[in-house]
Amino acid sequence: MTADPPGLPALEAALRRDLALLDYPRRTWVPARRTREGADVLDVLIIGGGQSGSAVAFGLLREKVTNLLVIDENERGREGPWLTFARMITLRTPKHLVGIEHGLPNLTLRSWYEAQFGQAAWESVNLVPKEQWAAYLDWYRRVTEIPFRSETRALDIRHVPEDGWFAVQVVTRGREETLYARKVVLATGIDGSGRWETPQVVAAGLPKARYAHTHDPIDFAALRGRRIAVLGAGASAFDNASVALEQGAREVHLFYRRETLPCVNPYRWAEFAGFLRHHADLPDLERYRFIAQIFKMGQLPPTDTYERATRHPGFHLHGGSPWKAVALENDEVVITTPKGRFAADFVIVGTGFVTDLSLRPELRRLEPHIARWQDRFTPPAGEVNEDILRHPYLGPGFELQERTPGEAPYVGAVFNYTFGCLPSLGFGGASISGLKYSLPRVVGGVTRQLYCEDSEQHLRALAAYDTREF
Same structural domain, 187 and 307: no
Burial of 331 (0-12, 13-18, 19+ CB in 10 A): exposed
Query: Pick from 351, 374, 390: which residue ends a domain?
Result: 351
DSSP annotation of 178 reads: E
276 located within any domain: no
Same structural domain, 212 and 173: no
Q: Which residues pair with 340 in a beta bridge?
A: 337
- CATH number, domain of 248, equals 3.50.50.60
Query: Pick from 310, 326, 351: which residue ends a domain?
Result: 351
The predicted structure's pLDDT at residue 2: 45
The predicted structure's pLDDT at residue 299: 81
Same structural domain, 116 and 170: yes
- CA dihedral (254, 258, 261, 264) in degrees, to 10, reads -150
122 located within any domain: yes
Distance CA 71, CA 187 (A): 10
Q: How far is CA 169 from CA 152, 155, 361, in A?
A: 10, 5, 12
Distance CA 214, CA 199 (A): 13
DSSP annotation of 363 reads: G
464 located within any domain: no
Same structural domain, 422 and 326: no
Residue of 293, 335, 239 lying closest to 426 (CA atoms): 293
369 located within any domain: yes
Same structural domain, 21 and 161: yes
Distance CA 211, CA 202 (A): 8
3 state SS of 440: helix
Same structural domain, 309 and 372: no
Find the radius of gyration of the CA atoms of the chain: 24
Same structural domain, 98 and 207: no
Q: Under a CB-based contact definition with an 8 Å cutoff, are residues 178 and 167 in contact?
A: yes
70 located within any domain: yes
Query: Pick from 351, 380, 410: which residue ends a domain?
Result: 351
Q: Under a CB-based contact definition with an 8 Å cutoff, are residues 341 and 175 in contact?
A: no
Distance CA 70, CA 145 (A): 11
Element (H, E) at 230: strand 227-231
Q: Letter for the amino acid at 150?
A: S
**Tally of domains within the chain:** 2
The predicted structure's pLDDT at residue 430: 80
218 located within any domain: yes
Same structural domain, 177 and 77: yes
Distance CA 170, CA 324 (A): 41
Q: What is the mean pLDDT of each run of 10 residues along the chain (470 residues)?
A: 67 97 96 95 98 98 98 95 94 93 97 94 94 97 97 98 96 97 97 95 97 97 98 95 98 96 90 96 98 91 93 97 97 97 98 95 98 98 97 98 97 97 92 94 98 98 95
Same structural domain, 304 and 402: no
Q: Which residues pair with 253 in a beta bridge?
A: 229, 316
Query: Judging by DSSP bridges, how do beta strands 152-160 and 165-172 pair with one another?
Result: antiparallel
281 located within any domain: no
275 located within any domain: no
Burial of 209 (0-12, 13-18, 19+ CB in 10 A): exposed
Same structural domain, 347 and 368: no
**Domain of 232, in residue numbers:** 198-263+300-351
Same structural domain, 133 and 91: yes
Same structural domain, 172 and 207: no
3 state SS of 45: strand
